[in-house]
Structure 1
Amino acid sequence: MISLTVNKLRGLSFTADSTLSGAIKTWVIVALAGQWAFAMYILSLYALPLILGAVDKAEKVSPTQGLNSNIDLNSAMFFAHVLPAILMAMSGLFQLIPNVRTRYPKFHRYNGRMFFSLGLAGAFTGLYLTWITGHRLSDIGSLGVTVNGILIPIAIYFAWQAAVKKRFAQHQRFAVHSFLLVNGVWTFRLYLMGWYIVNQGMNGNTRTLDGPADIALSFASFLLPMAIYEVILWGKKQRKDSIKWVISAVACFGVLITIVGVLAAGMMMWLPRISDILSVLF
């Protein structure tokens, strides 16, 4: 038994390619868990009160501006912005899994169309809520999410055009960027809560999210994952092991901050607020 285990361990080879592949698979698993947890958060805080007709009760514990029981354009735009996030969080990541793309091409196409359509709706309603209805904590603190929202339709346009022209490598590249941009607000929550955990509280942050750390994290929430993805694409084309190991280290760094962020957001934001809303509703 011992000799068999030793032989198996000897058979394991940790190369730069295998490490990079393992980092990507780990990121998908962690992101999927984080996305589904976020979907449960949105479902509990916004969808459930709307279904039960108890939005007025949810207002008391909701941290979000715009949640109210008034039936008007602004409240409709609010729910049109947050509720589709449940579907996007539950299904969006499947677009990036190679086996799903190859074995279920029809699902990939229709799921991608839904994701793109809801992503566009989320971007436009988000910009409307931020700058038309004034659902923002500060002007400066909203610049990152605004740039993120503007980039979403641009990335989706190029991904769609590449798919129509059957340029699948180009389509995949822009589709991944679209996914990262659409999930920029989700990533911002991870980075912000992770920042609080690492610093044991606020450090360069304000309650209106316009501190230097807040602004840096709001831009990093979409620029950093996009940069890491581009570095990985470049690294896969290199032949030198030394370069591939550096790229693998970058990918592992991306996985690490995602793990910290998901755990921090789950403990500090999602689970406590889900508990609060359920206690109010039931």
Structure 2
Amino acid sequence: MITDVLSAQSVKAPHSSKPLTIAATTWFVVATVGQWLFGAYILFFYGRSTLAGDFERWNKVLPRGYVAGDWSGNLLIGIHILLAAILVIGGPLQLMPVVRDRFRTFHRRLGKLYVLTAIVVSTAGVVLIWTRGTVGDTFMHVSNSIQALYIISFALLSVRYAKARQFDRHRLWTLRLFMVVNGVWFFRVGLMAWLLINRGPVGFDYKTFTGPFLTVLSLVTYLMPLSLLVLELYFYAQRRQSRMLTLATTIVIALCTVVTAIGVMGATMGMWWPRV
């Protein structure tokens, strides 16, 4: 995550806080592990059921994931899932300085694939939400749809600055794109962290998948992404170099890391691993 932008910010902030960098790096490591576990789950669960021709198994995870006779909708679901695996596995790789600096051709090609995949997945997701249907209420669906606009806009800006060879700006927009692309992942991790902390569903109905907690979670993962706000706070702290602001930002990122770790553990043990 944020470690990738350090080179872009170093000119403006030569005395960046070591604790802040450590906090950002720790979050990125935790998030990368969680993303790759999720990617492995996607490939093993959906890949195995697809190869076996057991498409109805999708419905154990996705409501109306497979509908007999609806070949176009089923194909769209399949493409959406496959491309999502590319995003969660390839995203962290794009942000690793060692990959960007030592494997530049791979970085460029993966970057093009990532941007194109992000646009296709977000667009397909909106189409599926409003044509195939999914869990949740209208607020969740609208929020998810608005997030697709973030994704497409940030993707285009990332490409624009890469073509203009303004690589500092390119990296900033790529980081922003990474945050909004992973809205669904953040939603799942946040949900599982909440369930673990409360030892069960609190603030929402598990059967209808609606309730005040899910409304708030949709707000801070889709409509007004908290991950994006924290990233902007990090950028601001790097620019200002205020001790108090740096300390506050470090604490915020550390708290996000704890919640992310809890959510990843809960999602792995409760959803991903049992189905692999």
1:89 is matched with which residue? Answer: 88
SS at match of 2:231: helix
1:121 is matched with which residue? Answer: 120
Cα 1:143–1:206 shift into 2, 3 Å: farther
**AA aligned opposite 2:212:** P
Aligned counterpart for 1:252 among listed residues 248, 251, 254? 254
Scaled by the length of structure 1, what TM-score is found?
0.86
Q: Which runs of 5+ in 2 are unaligned?
A: 1-14
Alignment deviations for residues 15-51 of structure 1 (CA, whole Å, 9 cap, x no partner): 9812111112211211111111111221232121111
Distance 1:136 1:200 in 2: 22
Which ranges of 4 or more aligned residues in structure 1 deviate by more than 6 Å? none
Task: State whether residues 144 and 219 of structure 1, in contact with CA within 8 Å, keep that contact through their aligned partners in structure 2.
Answer: yes
Alignment deviations for residues 65-84 of structure 1 (CA, whole Å, 9 cap, x no partner): 32246461101111111111
1:102 shift after superposition: 1.7
2:270 is matched with which residue? Answer: 268
Q: Which runs of 5+ in 1 are unaligned?
A: 1-14, 275-282
Describe how 1:39-188 pairs up with structure 2 within 5 A: 39-56=39-56, 58-59=57-58, 61-68=60-67, 70=69, 72-188=71-187
Distance 1:20 1:198 in 2: 26
Alignment deviations for residues 228-263 of structure 1 (CA, whole Å, 9 cap, x no partner): 000001111123322211121122122111111111
Task: State whether residues 190 and 261 of structure 1, in contact with CA within 8 Å, keep that contact through their aligned partners in structure 2.
Answer: yes
Which protein has the larger Cα radius of gyration, Structure 1 or Structure 2? 1
Q: Which stretch of structure 1 is more off in the superposition, 79-88 or 225-234? A: 79-88
2:218 is matched with which residue? Answer: 218
Cα 1:249–1:137 shift into 2, 3 Å: closer
Task: State whether residues 39 and 89 of structure 1, in contact with CA within 8 Å, keep that contact through their aligned partners in structure 2.
Answer: yes
Task: State whether residues 16 and 241 of structure 2, in contact with CA within 8 Å, keep that contact through their aligned partners in structure 1.
Answer: no
Task: State whether residues 34 and 264 of structure 2, in contact with CA within 8 Å, keep that contact through their aligned partners in structure 1.
Answer: yes
1:150 shift after superposition: 2.2
Q: Let me know the Cα RMSD of the aligned residues.
A: 1.9
**AA aligned opposite 2:271:** M
Distance 2:273 2:26 in 1: 23
Alignment deviations for residues 142-163 of structure 1 (CA, whole Å, 9 cap, x no partner): 2322221221101111111111
1:96 shift after superposition: 1.2
Cα 1:204–1:143 shift into 2, 3 Å: farther
SS at match of 2:117: helix
Aligned length: 259
Between the aligned residues of both structures, percent identity stands at 27
Cα 1:79–1:119 shift into 2, 3 Å: same
Distance 2:182 2:134 in 1: 19
2:33 is matched with which residue? Answer: 33
SS at match of 2:60: coil
Distance 1:74 1:54 in 2: 16
Task: State whether residues 64 and 133 of structure 2, in contact with CA within 8 Å, keep that contact through their aligned partners in structure 1.
Answer: no
Cα 1:59–1:155 shift into 2, 3 Å: closer
1:22 is matched with which residue? Answer: 22
Distance 1:249 1:51 in 2: 46
Q: Which stretch of structure 1 is more off in the superposition, 106-115 or 68-77? A: 68-77
Alignment deviations for residues 47-68 of structure 1 (CA, whole Å, 9 cap, x no partner): 2111122223x24633443224
Cα 1:230–1:132 shift into 2, 3 Å: same
SS at match of 1:28: helix
Cα 1:154–1:70 shift into 2, 3 Å: same
